[in-house]
Each structure stands twice: as C-alpha cells, then as structure tokens.
Amino acid sequence: YLPPSSTPRTPDDLQQHNCLWITSLPALRRWPFDTDEGIRVVHVGGNVVANTAETVLQLAVAGVGITRLTDIIVGDAIARGELVPILTDWHHAEPVPLYATYPSGRHLAPKVKAMVDFLAEEFGPAPWRRPARKPRTG
C-alpha cells in the first residue's frame, strides 16, 4: 500500500491515507499519540471497515490500507515482512495492558514464576518497539 515517498512521517499524515478499523469499535477511528504537548488524537478515515481484527489484518496485508492493531495481532505479519511498522518514533497513547494475577507472597512457586516470566517475555514490548525512541516535536 505504501510507496516509500508517501509513508506517513507524523500522525497528521494519516489523514491523507486509507485507514482500516473494526466497525464494532468506532472509537478506533480516533488514533491517540503522545506528543511533547500532550495527547494528540488523529481522526482517520477510509473506504473499508471490517467486523474483526483478523479481517482488518488480512486487508492490511493485502495492501488495502493502514491499520492500528495490537502487536500481538500484527507481530507475525511484521516478522514475515508482510507488514511494515510506521510512525515508530511516535508512542501510541493508549497501550493495551495485559495482566497476570497470582497470589502474593515471598515464596512464589517456581511454575508460577516461570509462567509470569514467559508472559512478560512473550507479550512484552514487540522487538520493533524496544529500541530507544528518538525525541520528537509537535
């Protein structure tokens, strides 16, 4: 979908692109980003919407447009080179949290600790989000 010359460089550039979102979640048309001045919300538009995240992912892989899905959903497509992360210098203001609930105490069972460590590694920041971010303006 994106020729190199038209890759969005700022969140505002998204308004010039076909963006994909899930119809059951109209709030996903508002993409929030952290800026030096606070949260900046970009209202995106597009000519195709879908009912599920999987369908939106398939549309993005097919080159229909740009989407904003969780790293868990797009990770394999990025690893295969089917999708390319954009706006990586901009932090999304609304990360999706994942929690592991377990009993507190000094003597955590080794199996529980192993599971929590696995979840932290497996569902922690995606590789393309781990490098230090460059400072940005506006």
CATH code of residue 50 = 3.40.190.10
Domain presence at residue 112: yes
Number of domains in the chain: 1
Q: What is the reported pLDDT for 35?
A: 81
Domain presence at residue 134: no
Domain presence at residue 35: yes
Q: What is the reported pLDDT for 59?
A: 97
**Residue 20 φ then ψ, to 5°:** -110, 140
Ranges in the chain, pLDDT < 50: none
**Among 130, 28, 43, 40, which Cα is nearest to 93's?**
40
Cβ-Cβ contacts under 8 Å for 97 (sequence gap 6 or more): none
Domain presence at residue 36: yes
Q: What is the reported pLDDT for 18?
A: 94
Q: What is the pTM of this model?
A: 0.69
Q: What is the reported pLDDT for 99?
A: 82
Domain presence at residue 116: yes
Structural domain including 17 reads 4-129
